[in-house]
Structures are given as structure tokens and as C-alpha cells.
Copies of this chain bind each other. A is one copy, B any other.
Amino acid sequence: MNAAERLERLADLAVSVGANVQPGQLVVIGAQPEHIELVRPIARAAYRAGARYVSAIYDDLHVKRALVELGPEASLSHSNPWDLTMLDTLVSEQAAYIRVSGDPDPELMAGLDSERVGKAQYREFRARWGHIVSHREVAWTIVPLPTAGWAKQVFGKPDVEALWTAVIKALRLDRPDPAAAWHAHFDRLRTIAAAITERHFESLHYRGPGTDLTVGLLPSGQWHCADFTTNTGHNHAPNLPTEEVFTSPDRRRAEGKIRSTLPLNVPGTMVRDLQFEFRDGKIVDVSAGSGVEVIRAQLAIDENATRLGEVALVDGSSEVGKLGLTFCNTLFDENATCHIAYGSGMEFCVEDPADVAVGINHSAIHTDFMVGGPEVQVDGIDARGSRVTILKDNEFRIS
């Protein structure tokens, strides 16, 4: 597969399986200016799929860096009104949104005031986007593009070709029919999600080195895989790759400690050796080997930022996990192993409106951190206190 072919295959997958672009649809591609080599094939693939109009919106992290370094404090959380119009248009036009991930410069914010980095969150935009995701209002997907900066994080040198080899494997682009491979994969994940939902667990219990955490689940909670349908019936895959089954937990209940098992890339900052302590559903203590100030600033964004929005399980059959790499990119690392997110939850994960009202978290942020691995066991505990092993030695024990 040469360089043009793999971009073409990836663009086709983003349009067909990812956003599942329909004839007559409006398509918006969100990317960094360094991503033009993939954005342009995606635009062409979308038009070939019958898109009515395709827009590329580039956000430049170097301009954000200038804001953090030189701009006024009050502007750090500013959102442009036109970007909010864009989100409104996505909803009103039932548009598709394709996001390209692959940070060209993961250490871009290094050396800046970490508190200011953490505050620069494009707050209103992110809150509205969180609402859109939670209410399944738009067909969206995130797809990766290997960049030199990202490759350097993974391999210690800017070996973009090695990163492409991994991405091709994880995205199943080397299969004869990648789209068919993804549909078969979703069938398996849907079966696992249904099996967990069926047990109506009252909580999850994580155990492992540095980890002993209980997270409450909601009575009408549903487990899902990343094979979504919008509230108007448009099927899409929000993440490519995806290997997880997930739900939104009860925002009121989390107790204990958890240690992250992989580094976390918050755009422009690498966070290593992250640990949290929870009490009464809230993060009450956080520590990290590096980048802790950025996490602290995120947790200070609003009053619900310290509560949980997502719990997700991934087993060792993951094509991402099998690569044995630390990608320093959430789209990959969250699909290598189990993860948890603090911040906003997803209302569609709960059936009963009463559970939504009391149990689903709302926040301007949603940050996933990785907590799984062969040494971490996850049990489900039902209302009578019975314990069932869901994941052990990186294998699902439930079906």
C-alpha cells in the first residue's frame, strides 16, 4: 500500500464506516493545518459518497499557544461565536462531522504556565459539543493521521512509517474489505455489551497495583460499543479504531483509588503516572509524575469536572492492544485497554429519565485516562452483593 493508497483507504473508511456519509448530507472535517494530506482525500471521498457540501475547519494549536503565552487571562476560555454557529448548523442540517486526530507537536505547550494551559479549554464550544454527543444529535467520527511529532512520542524518533504500519493494522486497512471487517467487529462488541447490560450490575470494582476503586452504575444503564445511531436514525462509528464497550456510571458514586496504566496526551501536554482518589463520587486527590497542573486546571473548570462520565472495558483481543505500543494518543490508548473518563457523561447510556436526571454527569470536559492491563481485574457487583468477574488477565469472562 503506497502513501496515496493508504490515505485513500483511510479517507474512504472515515466516510463510509466512520461518519457513514449519506447522499445530500453536509460534511464538516475538523483538523489541524498539518493534516491537509488526509483532509483533502476525505473531502473527495465525501463528495464521491454524495455529500452536498464539504467544509474543512482547521484549528491551529500554535495560535492557541500564542493565546496561552501572551493573551489576557479572561480570554483563555473564550469560544468564537462562529464555531458555535457551526455546531448549531451540524445539528439543524443533520450534518456529519469527521475529526482528524494525530498531534503534530504533542509537547507544544511545554514550558508554558500549566494553569493557563489547563484553562484554555474552548469552554462553551466543548460544552455544546458534549451536549450534542450526549443527545446523539450528529453523526461523527474521529480518525487518526500519523504525523512526525506523534511518531516521536510513540517510538522516540519521528518514524512516521512505523506509525503508519501500526495504524493500518489497528484500522484494519490491510483487510481485503476494511468496512466489512469493521461491521463484523461491531457484531462481537455488541454481543459483549449486551451480556454486561443483562446482569444489571449495581457497581464495578477495579483491583490492581495502586488501584482499588468502586464505581456505581445506574439501574437502567446500558452498555454500548462505538457503533452509534443518532436520534434521527443515522448509524455511525464515533471512533476508528474502537475496541471498547462502555457506559456512563452513576455520577454520585465512586470510592477509592485508581492508578493510570498509560501516559495521557492532553493536546500539547504529556501526563505521566496519573493517580486519582475518589470520595462520594468526586476526585478529591490527584497526583502525576508530569503534567499534573493541566489535569488540576481541567478539574477546576466546573463543579462537575471531578465526577465520572464514562467507564469502558477493553480486552486483550484488541487490535490496538496487540500492537503493544504506548500511542500517547487517547484515540488509540483508550482502545488498547480499559479506561475511565472524568467530566461529561452520555445520556443515551441510560434508559430511565429519572436515572438521567440524578446520575448522568454534565461538564464542559470529558477526559479519558487508561486504567486497564493484565494486572487489573474488573468485577461486577449486583444489587444482592454477588460478585461476577467481567475482565481478568485481559480476557472478558462474561458472555
Residue among B44, B48, B58, B82 making CB contact with A85, cutoff 8 Å: B82
Is A70 interfacial (CB-CB < 8 Å)? yes
User: What residues of chain B lie closer than 8 Å to A86, measured between beta carbons?
Assistant: 80, 82
Please state if A70 and B85 are interface contacts (CB–CB under 8 Å).
Answer: no
For window 18-66 of chain A, which residues contact chain B by CB distance below 8 Å?
29, 33, 36, 39-40, 43-44, 47-48, 51-56, 58, 60, 62-63, 66
> Would you give the 0/1 interface string for A357-389, flagging 1 where the beta carbon is closer than 8 Å to chain B?
000000000000000000000000000000000
Copies in the complex: 2
Is A81 interfacial (CB-CB < 8 Å)? yes
Most chain-B CB neighbours within 10 Å: which of A33, A36, A51, A72? A33
In the complex with contacts A82-B86, A82-B89, A47-B60 CB distance below 8 A:
no
Is A78 interfacial (CB-CB < 8 Å)? yes
CB distance from A85 to the nearest CB of B (A): 4
Is A353 interfacial (CB-CB < 8 Å)? no
> Would you give the 0/1 interface string for A59-96, flagging 1 where the beta carbon is closer than 8 Å to chain B?
01011001101111001001011110110010000000
CB distance from A149 to the nearest CB of B (A): 14
CA A44 to CA B63, docked complex, whole Å: 8
Please state if A66 and B82 are interface contacts (CB–CB under 8 Å).
Answer: no
User: What residues of chain B lie closer than 8 Å to A89, measured between beta carbons?
Assistant: 80-82
Residue among B39, B40, B53, B58 making CB contact with A75, cutoff 8 Å: B53
User: What residues of chain B lie closer than 8 Å to A52, measured between beta carbons?
Assistant: 71-72, 75
CA A289 to CA B52, docked complex, whole Å: 34
User: What residues of chain B lie closer than 8 Å to A81, measured between beta carbons?
Assistant: 85, 89
A-B contact pairs, 27 of them (CB 8 A): A29-B63, A33-B33, A33-B36, A33-B58, A36-B62, A39-B60, A40-B60, A40-B63, A40-B66, A43-B63, A44-B70, A47-B69, A47-B70, A48-B70, A52-B75, A53-B75, A53-B78, A55-B63, A55-B80, A56-B63, A58-B58, A80-B86, A80-B89, A81-B89, A82-B82, A82-B86, A85-B85
